[in-house]
Amino acid sequence: MSELCLYKLLVFSCVLRAFNKDAFIFTATLPHASAQALPLTPLRAPARPPSCARGRRCVAGGRGPRGQFEGGAMAEPGGAGPSAELTVGVPFLISLREQLKQQLMECQVAARACQGGCPDHDMEEKATVESMPNLENELEKIKTSFKNKTLVLQRMQVADALQKKMAENDGEARLIVDTLLNIVELSKTIIQFQRETRYIEDKINAIRRKRLVLRQAEKDKMQKIHLMMKKIKKLGSKEVNELLEKIRENLQTEREMTTAIQNVFQSIIIGSQVNWAEDPSLKAIVLQLEKDIS
């Protein structure tokens, strides 16, 4: 057992040395023995640093109430010679080791956080950001269910309280019954009104539906009329063209016929050897026949 203690002490002194760089030997008393409060002993310190004069309060260097308090539970480290005796309990050393471990871990974590920017960290952050919506959804679900449950619970509690009150059957219970009856009456009225509202809404909806159908039919009809108008216009223009062509042809043939008849008349008048220049009416006719119709 004593060998084990010695070994542990050796390990601790190594750890302490590695941690604090300065090799020192410390004396310590058992924690429970040193647990009583020591009187306040403001540290004696040299004159205030110049910064105190600028309105800043001196922290560790001031004298009196603004000084540093030292409340001791353990003896001062350092200062003891190499021959100082170690009066340390094993549990205390173990707790000290745990402390050092924890502090080392914290320092390591801080150092790693200071380095920052490593790819792992980025990936982790990405993953975290990606998983955030899911987690938020879950949180919302849980919140909703919790609220629902709370509501149900509250209702149950209220119902229970009401039941108990009703069982007492005193003046307050009568008041509650009156209120409940009133509520029932009001609810009935509300339901009645709601039914009426629904009936009217149904009517409005039916009218709207009819109007919609009518509007669609109107649209169809308008389209049909438009198409018809277009067709009629097309057909009309065709017929007129044909008619004009025919009329022109007729006119042409009539003209030709007239020319031929004029020529025939002229020939007859000349052939009859009548002096057409003496008779004024005949002269007019012959001169008229000379005119070209076309």
Partner 1 sequence: MEVLRPFDKLPAINSAALLLVGADGSAQQRLAEAVLREPKAFRISIHLAASLPLPAERDHLRPRIDLIVFIIDIKSKYSLKNVEASLAHVDASFFLGKVCFLVTGVGRVNSCSIEMSAIWKLRDTYCSPVLLCELESEKIQATTAQRLLRMLQICAGHVPGVSALTFSSLMRSSADD
Q: Of 1, 2, 4, 37, which one interacts with partner 1 (CB under 8 A)?
A: 37
Q: Of 107, 191, 229, 284, which one interacts with partner 1 (CB under 8 A)?
A: 107
For residue 70, the minimal CB distance to partner 1 (Å) is 6
Does position 89 interact with partner 1 (CB under 8 A)? The reply is: no
Spatial CA neighbour of 33 closest among 91, 85, 77, 94: 91
**3-state secondary structure at position 274:** coil
Give CA separation, 85 vs 13, 32, 72, 81, 88, in Å.
14, 19, 20, 9, 9
Q: Of 17, 79, 106, 250, which one interacts with partner 1 (CB under 8 A)?
A: 106
Does position 102 interact with partner 1 (CB under 8 A)? The reply is: yes
Q: Of 10, 17, 51, 217, which one interacts with partner 1 (CB under 8 A)?
A: 51
For residue 117, the minimal CB distance to partner 1 (Å) is 16
Of the pair 34, 157, the CB lying nearest partner 1 is at 34
Of the pair 2, 36, the CB lying nearest partner 1 is at 36
- In angstroms and rounded to an integer, the radius of gyration of the C-alpha atoms of the chain is 61
Q: Of 7, 18, 56, 240, which one interacts with partner 1 (CB under 8 A)?
A: 56
How many other C-beta atoms are found inside a 10 Å radius of the C-beta of residue 61?
16
Can you tell me the distance from the alpha carbon of 120 to that of 127, in angstroms, rounded to the nearest whole number? 10
Of the pair 68, 128, the CB lying nearest partner 1 is at 68
CB 10 within 8 A of CB 16: no
DSSP state string for 197-224: HHHHHHHHHHHHHHHHHHHHHHHHHHHH
Can you tell me the distance from the alpha carbon of 241 to that of 239, in angstroms, rounded to the nearest whole number? 5
Can you tell me the distance from the alpha carbon of 50 to that of 59, in angstroms, rounded to the nearest whole number? 12
Q: Of 17, 32, 112, 226, which one interacts with partner 1 (CB under 8 A)?
A: 32
String of contacts with partner 1 for each residue 7-26, x by CB under 8 A: ---------x--xx-----x
Number of residues this chain uses to bind partner 1 (CB under 8 A): 50
Residues forming contacts to partner 1 in the complex (CB under 8 A) are 16, 19-20, 26, 28, 31-32, 34-38, 40, 49-52, 56-61, 65-74, 77, 95-96, 98-103, 105-107, 109-111, 113-114
